[in-house]
Chain A
Amino acid sequence: MPSNTASSSSAPAGSSKSKRPKYSKFTQQELPACKPILTPGWVILTFLVISVIFIPLGVVSLFASQDVVEIVDRYDNDCVPTPARANKVAYIQGGSDKSCNRTLVVPKKMKQPIYVYYQLENFYQNHRRYVKSRSDSQLRSVKDENQIDACKPEDDVNGRPIVPCGLIAWSLFNDTYALSKNNQPLTVNKRGIAWKSDREHKFGKNVFPKNFQEGNITGGGRLDANKSLSEQEDLIVWMRTAALPTFRKLYGKIESDLEKGDTIHVTLLNNYNTYSFDGKKKLVLSTTSWLGGKNDFLGIAYLTVGGICFFLALVFTIMYLVKPRRLGDPTYLSWNRVPGGGR
């Protein structure tokens, strides 16, 4: 039902002009309009178009994902020596040598660049208190060094402000990985792993770490006090908090190819304590495609929905052919129809 919006003009009092509002198509709701209704033709056409677009997209996405080669290696349990496994937390907090050797086999040829990630599970980087515990202004410039209010409890040490302050920086991941192939070390390029906008605009070139990890409890890695924050790419990557409790972060890139069957030896330092909260640590080597990493989801989803839409197009075609009716027929009004029909 239309609603009337009258314009608010009125003739001056005392004149003989009429008070009728000025007519305009806009105010009288008579604008030229397109009044589409869902006719059978449109419904079937829409479903067919969707399936024609989606099925090829699904195939292409699935191929892209299948092309990605990924090696995932969980090491947090295996890298604790057997006698210490009864109390992993004590082991990780103790001072013993934490180096551990892992072997990875390359299942398929991997073309460079090959990205090295560490994957953590059950780690809620998206917890509100954690996310808030940082000082963006302090990260950007030296003069804001003392803006540490949001960073409690990791804000200062004996009155001296911690740079970078906050729980996020304090819990910096500090496992390291040294990779080698056939006894030749594989260089892992750790430059350029952070987003450019972070490096250039959020982390200052003149801000250096101070008083970092000097408190009673060490939360994670230490920082080189001679490197400015904008060069500390591991820190920058870590401080981009993850969305979900299972996440990967970029550690570095390998810029040479790996052949199928190659054995990669990893000497890692198992420093980071995920045992206190039943977290998991995994090392991941992955190539990428135009779609990203190995994730069949989009491809399968597109194919499924494309298929369903095609099926629906067929179903609707059959329905419309089997039950044709004159759609404007008033015998189909609810009160004229047999009982039990809709309204």
Chain B
Amino acid sequence: MLEICYFFYKNITFGVTVFLYEAYASFSAQPAYNDWFLSLFNVFFSSLPVIALGVFDQDVSARFCYKFPLLYQEGVQNILFSWKRIIGWMFNGFISALAIFFICKESLKHQLFDPNGKTAGREIMGGLMYTCVVWVVNLQMALSISYFTWVQHIVIWGSIAFWYIFLMIYGAITPSFSTDAYMVFLEALAPAPSYWLTTLFVMIFALTPYFVYKSVQMRFFPKYHQMIQWIRYEGHSNDPEFVEMVRQRSIRPTTVGYTARRAASVRRSGRFHDQLHKDLVAF
């Protein structure tokens, strides 16, 4: 579920930056990035973390699934893949892309970014924006998952490192092949402090809203698997009486499939309508 939402998110982040740039290129279909950059985004710079996420991610370990069987209800009731979540992730991608594009554009205003007075052309703006996208998308992954093995570390930080390595290698190939990306990193981007400063700023700024949301949600509105994570963190999971108490309080009749999802959403909205009814009556 998270993998699918994340996939929407990263492609929207990437695509919306391209779209926003179009608005400034009079919609002539001139892409913001070098063509090879465009093609390889989904191949190299953001694919491995998603695969690792899908294969390896565990929000709660296997032992806890045995202890707290109600976790299965999260899937049955479609809590993790509801429309709200999907739209939420897509919206996150959209505002990340807005942040990336406008900050890069403003920081390169008048294109004076280099202490040697040279101006920034399309390839420099493209390189800067792409760097920001790679960082934001991979850091977002790091923030979303709650299970870090060496696999996750390698794919996330490795994708980011690979972007820089790729820039250097591709930039060293003869310009008949690399066209405008020739030497763009080593000659233009890397020596300019404003490149590094802008990248750092964008990655923090684009991820702060999600970070705030997650902190609040984790603390005040945790989902069931997050509650189990808290229980584990606080050490109660080793206390069999506590675990038994949680299980007892979770017993309820359940169904599966469409009926279960329908019942869950009715319960969610029904509670809201009950409360609304109570408020109206009191008034």
Residues of chain A touching chain B, judged by Cβ–Cβ distance below 8 Å, are 1-3, 5, 29, 31-40, 43, 46, 50, 54, 57, 61, 113, 115, 117, 119, 124-129, 131, 136-137, 140, 193, 195-197, 201-202, 237, 240-250, 253, 284, 286, 288-295, 297-298, 301-302, 305, 308-309, 312, 316, 319-320, 323, 326-328, 330, 332-333, 335-336, 339-343
- Contact sample, A vs B, 18 pairs, CB 8 Å cutoff: A2-B65, A33-B148, A38-B218, A50-B204, A124-B26, A193-B118, A240-B122, A240-B123, A243-B122, A288-B112, A288-B114, A288-B115, A292-B192, A298-B194, A319-B219, A327-B222, A327-B227, A333-B227
Contacts across chains A and B counted by CB atoms under 8 Å:
241
Query: Count the B residues whose beta carbon is within 8 Å of the partner chain — how many?
Result: 97
Other-chain contact of A327, B105, B107, B230 (Cβ < 8 Å): B230
Q: Roughly how many angstroms separate A185 CA and B140 CA in the complex, as a whole number?
A: 56
Other-chain contact of B275, A320, A330, A340 (Cβ < 8 Å): A340
The answer on a CB contact under 8 Å between A241 and B122 is yes
Q: B58, B119, B219, B252 — which one has the most chain A CB atoms within 10 A of its CB?
A: B119
The answer on a CB contact under 8 Å between A54 and B204 is yes
The answer on a CB contact under 8 Å between B114 and A328 is no
The answer on a CB contact under 8 Å between A250 and B147 is no
Contact with A along B145-188 (1 / 0, CB 8 A): 01111110000000000000000000000111001001100011
From 88 to 117 in chain B, residues with beta carbon under 8 angstroms from any chain A beta carbon are 103, 105-117
Q: Roughly how many angstroms separate A79 CA and B152 CA in the complex, as a whole number?
A: 62
Residues of chain B touching chain A, judged by Cβ–Cβ distance below 8 Å, are 24-26, 28-30, 32, 55-56, 58-62, 65, 71-72, 75, 79, 103, 105-126, 146-151, 174-176, 179, 182-183, 187-188, 192-194, 197-198, 201, 204-205, 208, 211-212, 214-215, 218-224, 226-227, 229-234, 236, 242, 245-246, 249-250, 252, 267-268, 271-272, 274-275
Could you say which residues of chain B place their CB within 8 Å of the CB of A136?
Answer: 175-176, 179
A290-B182 contact in complex given A31-B149, A327-B234, C-beta closer than 8 Å: no
Other-chain contact of B151, A31, A35, A117, A246 (Cβ < 8 Å): A31
Q: Roughly how many angstroms separate A75 CA and B208 CA in the complex, as a whole number?
A: 44
The answer on a CB contact under 8 Å between A128 and B25 is yes
The answer on a CB contact under 8 Å between A195 and B118 is yes
Distance (whole angstroms) from the CB of A301 to the closest CB of chain B:
6
Could you say which residues of chain A place their CB within 8 Å of the CB of B56?
Answer: 29
Add 5 more A-B contacts to A1-B60, A127-B25 (CB < 8 A). Answer: A124-B26, A201-B182, A242-B122, A301-B107, A333-B227
